Each structure stands twice: as C-alpha cells, then as structure tokens.
Amino acid sequence: MFQADVLVVGGGLIGLACATEVARAGLRVRVISARHAGAASAASAGILAPSVGHSSAAARALAIRARDLYPDYVRSLAERTGVDVPLDRAGVLEVALDDADAHALQASLDAQAEWIDDRELRRLEPALAPAAGAAFHPDDGAVDARALLEAVRVDAERESRMSLADGRVVRVRPERRSITVELENGERAEAAWVIIAAGAWAGGLAGLPRPLPVTPTRGQMLAFESAGLAHVAMGPHGYLVPRGNRTLAGSTMEDVGFDGGTTAEGATILRDAAVGLSPALAGRAPLEHWAGLRPMTPDLLPIVGPDPDYVGLVYACGHSKNGVLLAPLTAQVVAGLLGGEPAVDVAPYTPARFGPSR
C-alpha cells in the first residue's frame, strides 16, 4: 500500500504543482481531489500581469518573481511531459479609453512601464477601439491555462513518488505528530504533512484550527474568433487575451456562492466590454462561454505557509485572481517549507493574519 509522507487536499493547478515539487524533493505524496464544477484552474485567462493594478510593494515583488519563473517552468514541463504550454511575453496594454483614464494611468506609471499615445497605440493595435493611449507593461503577458493544467497533470501522473486519488475531503484532524483527513465516503488518510490546496472550497473544510476566509467569486468568460490583437489588452470594464485563433474576453466578478454556471446576463456584460475594447468583435457570435470560481480572500493575498499551531499543516490556497500567476512560485515555497528552506518569506501570507485559532 502506498504510504504517503504528504497528503495534498486539492488537485487543481496549485495542488498538483505543489505535489510534484514536493515529490521531486524525495517525499511520497498522495493528492486527494474531488471533481468540482467551476474549478478555477482551467477557467482562467492565464494573464500574467503583476505590473497592473494596485498592490503593496511586497505583493508586487512576489508576483513579479512568480511571473519571471514562467519561461523556465513551461520549458521544463515540456521536456518532462511533451506538452507544449504557449507562453506570451509580448507585454500587456492597459488601455485608457478617455482623457480622464489617461491622466490616471500616466500618474501611476512605474519605471518598467511605458506610455503609448493614441497615435502609436492605433499603429500598434489597429483592432482596438479609438483610445487616449495606453500604459505598456513590456514584461507581462499570459499563459494558456488549459494547456498548463494538462501539462501539470501529466507531470503528476508520471511522478513515481505520487499517488492521485478521487475523493472529497470534509474534515481535517491535526495532531502534534500527524494529521488525519476524513473523506465524504468515510475513508481516512494520515500523514506527517497535509497541504491545504482546495481552491474556493478550502474555507469549507471542517476541523481546521483557525478560520480560513476563502470564498468563491464567479468569473464568466467568452471566446470569439480572433480579433487580430497582438497583446493582452486591459480596459476599465474588461480585458481581451489573444489565444491562437481566438480572443478571450473576461471577466465578471459575481458573488453567487458555489454556482459555477453561466448566464445570459454575464454574456451580455462580457460582450459589451469586449466590443468596447475592440469593435472588430461586434456582430460575432461567441465560440464558447464558461465560468470558474476564484478562491478569494479579504485582502486578495494568498494564504501560504504553515499553521502557527501545527507545523505539519501547510496552507496553499486563497490565491484570489492570481492562482495561475503564483502557481510555480507557490510550489517552490511549499516544497521549501517542507524541506526547511522556504524560497521566500511567507510571513505576509500567514493564515494567522485572519484571527486566532479556534
């Protein structure tokens, strides 16, 4: 019988990436995963844009480090699995549709960004709507999240020190020397280490020693025939991602619990935002419409690190909108924690920040 040193609760991108990194470090790992409709990994647009938006200096530095792991990460995955994961590092355009947006963006540019005026933007991306200009983030981009998840799954299946099991974990029982997980079907499993990587469902696990405020937020997406864009384009109401012969349009932010379905209203919102960024999409029928449930935390930062009271209980969840971006780095960090040499300081991401133990 396969006796695991480490149990991983959750078989999405984060869980599988952590599990394979830990297994390659020499530990035996069992991944226990339920099949949830609306799991976020495959639904993501895969945008790698730590330069966009407002975040603390520490959070941005972590995200940039994660982004810069990607070229080597997808290359090593392809070598081990034969699965090619398309990676776009052409840069991201943060588009200002009017003068007010332009002034705000220009005022917030960092040293790595470049301002592109309306004339240059029209030359660079003629399929975009007339705009006042754009902030260009040259090191950002996107990764094909579906191909990435496939590659990570193949990698996990080929790792001899790993076992993949179907099942829904409902309770975790931490003790000083080992941790037990209980499955919905009554089965139990025990190991010295347990990694919580259950995505939007992490907050519903019973028995955890402290509150875990991870809640689902639905994001709907559309895919259209390609609009002819060369860069990821982000506007005030949505974004467009070139993906081969398609253009992805996203995304909604909906507080609907664990409903991973799509709606006509969501499709209308997405279509309007997409056409507002690229009129070339007007009149085109969507090729695909899907949704995923993001695992959100109150401060939008991940929960990564050991439990303060039970060092064998490690959290790798709550990645909010940045699960794909942070996956390779999270895997390195978790493997380092189990080996005693964490890759980064995880203090800002500790689960203890949300309150004392129960």
Structural domains of the chain in order of their starting residue, each with its CATH number:
6-45+147-214+298-354 (3.50.50.60), 92-138+216-296 (3.30.9.10)
Tell me the pLDDT band of 358, cut-offs 50, 70 and 90: low
- Report how far residue 22's alpha carbon sits from residue 27's, in angstroms, rounded to the nearest whole number: 6
Amino acid making up residue 304: V
What is the number of other CB atoms lying within 10 angstroms of the CB of residue 163?
Answer: 19
SS3 readout for 309-320? CCCCEEEEECCC
Confidence (pLDDT) at 298: 94
List pLDDT tens digits, range 72-131. Answer: 999 999 999 999 999 999 999 999 999 999 999 999 888 889 999 999 999 999 999 999
Q: How far apart are CA 314 and CA 136, in angstroms?
A: 37
Question: Which residue is it, tokens 């997406």?
Answer: 221
Query: What percent of the chain is predicted at pLDDT more than 70?
Result: 99
Distance CA 206, CA 11 (A): 18
pLDDT band per the 50, 70, 90 thresholds, residue 27? very high
Region 39-51 average pLDDT: 90
| Mean pLDDT score, 312-334 | 96
Q: What residues are paired with 141 via a beta bridge? A: 48
Q: Is the pLDDT of residue 57 over 90?
A: no
What is the rounded average pLDDT of the residues 193-216? 95
pTM over 0.85: yes
CA 295, CA 13: separation in Å to the nearest integer? 13
Count the Cβ atoms, other than its own, within 10 Å of residue 296: 20
For 260-270, what is the mean pLDDT? 96
pLDDT of residue 126: 96
Q: Could you tell me if 106 and 115 are in contact, meaning their C-beta atoms sit under 8 angstroms apart? A: yes
Confidence at residue 1, expressed as pLDDT on a 0 to 100 scale:
52
